[in-house]
Amino acid sequence: MSDSILERIQDDTRTAMKAGDRERVGTLRMITSSLQQDEKEGDGDAVAVLQRERKKRVEAAEAFESGGRADQAEAERAEAALIETYLPEQISDEELGAIVDEAMAATGANSMKEMGKVIGMVMPKVKGSADGKRVSTMVRERLGA
């Protein structure tokens, strides 16, 4: 695992505690716990853990929003935004498009049936810098769905 991410989060937790920011402390402790649990299980991929935790918050916010709980949805979005600050910078649509085009050319994909091949080739190249939903959407667009 990237100790620098965990160390940065732990430092930020201490700073938030000193500032009395309970909500931030709670979110940072949750992230720390997830990272440490993942490390114990042997994976040690901090970026994947952060992406997974962010995705959970985004999905929860959507669910709360559709359920008429705007206050809870906003809290989940705030947590997702905090988690994003620890993720690597996302690549641009142009860069992602070039990678998708390259994968389509390499696999000879030209229909939706071959979408999995393209995504399978793209994801390892963009790990941490583009989420799966974004990749899937772009591949679908490029294959003409």
Higher pLDDT, 127 or 8: 8
Chain Cα centroid distance, residue 78: 14
The encoded tokens of residue 63 equal: 């669910």
Q: What is the pLDDT of residues 88-123, one digit of tens each?
A: 888 888 998 899 888 888 888 888 888 888 888 888
Domain ranges of the chain: 3-84, 93-142
Q: Can you tell me the mean pLDDT for 54-67? A: 92
Mean of all residue pLDDT scores within the chain: 87
**pTM for the full model?**
0.71
CATH number for the region 3-84 comes to 1.10.1510.10
Q: What is the pLDDT of residues 74-89, one digit of tens each?
A: 999 999 999 988 888 8
Q: What is the pLDDT of residues 61-76, one digit of tens each?
A: 999 999 999 999 999 9
* Residue 1 confidence (pLDDT): 43
* Residue 44 confidence (pLDDT): 66
The encoded tokens of residue 109 equal: 């994909």
Q: Read off the DSSP letter of residue 90.
A: P
19 near 60, Cβ under 8 Å? no
The whole-angstrom separation of Cα 34 and Cα 18 is: 22
Domain 93-142, classified CATH 1.10.10.410, yes or no? yes
The whole-angstrom separation of Cα 30 and Cα 47 is: 15
